[in-house]
Amino acid sequence: MLVLIALSILHIAAIILLLVATIDNAWWVTFNPQTSTDVWGRWVLTNNKWNLTDLPSSYEPDYLQAVQATTVLACIFSIIALFVFIAELFTLPKGRRFTISGVFQVLACLFIMIAASIYTDRFHINEKSIGNYGHSFILAWIAFGLTFISSIVYFVLRKK
């Protein structure tokens, strides 16, 4: 019972990190001028107000849409996995539980890894000296680790 509670907390933490990484505006930050860029737009600080601007034209639209789609899919699949986990817990017999929720969590893990990898490889390549990866980018990689761990735990629990 304690393992199921811990797994639920781990899963909810992963969902929260995925949502923050997808929604928040700090995948890339610069300090002069002060900007904060996410996968949806660029925020520029002017006169102590944050203004939303379009992403630079250097962002290739195909790669940007791939990052946007995979971050959203990671959130969706992780949330579905939580509901499937609860349904499997109460409906399926031992030995057949947690397989589907584990598969959904593996897919969420794969999607957030793809998003963060594409963002790392394709964006801000020539801007390393003027900015840093922001907390949303770091949270995406932490969410990758948490979803991977929870998917492994789901498959281990299936055997018990």
User: Nearest 5°: phi and psi at 116?
Assistant: -65, -35
Half-sphere exposure of 111 (CA within 13 A, CB side): 22
pLDDT number for residue 1: 78
For the cut 70, the answer to whether the pLDDT of residue 95 exceeds it is no
Contact 37, 43 (CB under 8 A): yes
pLDDT number for residue 129: 80
> What's the full length of the chain, in residues?
160
pTM, 2 dp: 0.90
Domains in the chain with CATH codes: 1-26+60-159 (1.20.120)
For the cut 70, the answer to whether the pLDDT of residue 72 exceeds it is yes
Q: pLDDT tens across 77-88, in order?
A: 999 999 999 998
Contact 101, 77 (CB under 8 A): no
What whole-number percentage of the chain has pLDDT above 90?
Answer: 72
DSSP state of 54: P
Q: pLDDT tens across 22-36, in order?
A: 999 899 999 888 999
Residue 22 and residue 115: Cα distance in Å, rounded?
10
For the cut 90, the answer to whether the pLDDT of residue 148 exceeds it is yes
Strand partners, 45: 50
For the cut 80, the answer to whether the pLDDT of residue 94 exceeds it is no
Q: pLDDT tens across 114-147, in order?
A: 999 999 999 988 887 889 999 999 999 999 999 9
pLDDT number for residue 125: 83
pLDDT number for residue 158: 76
Which among 114, 35, 27, 49 is positioned nearest to 77, based on CA atoms? 114
Q: pLDDT tens across 40-53, in order?
A: 999 999 999 999 99
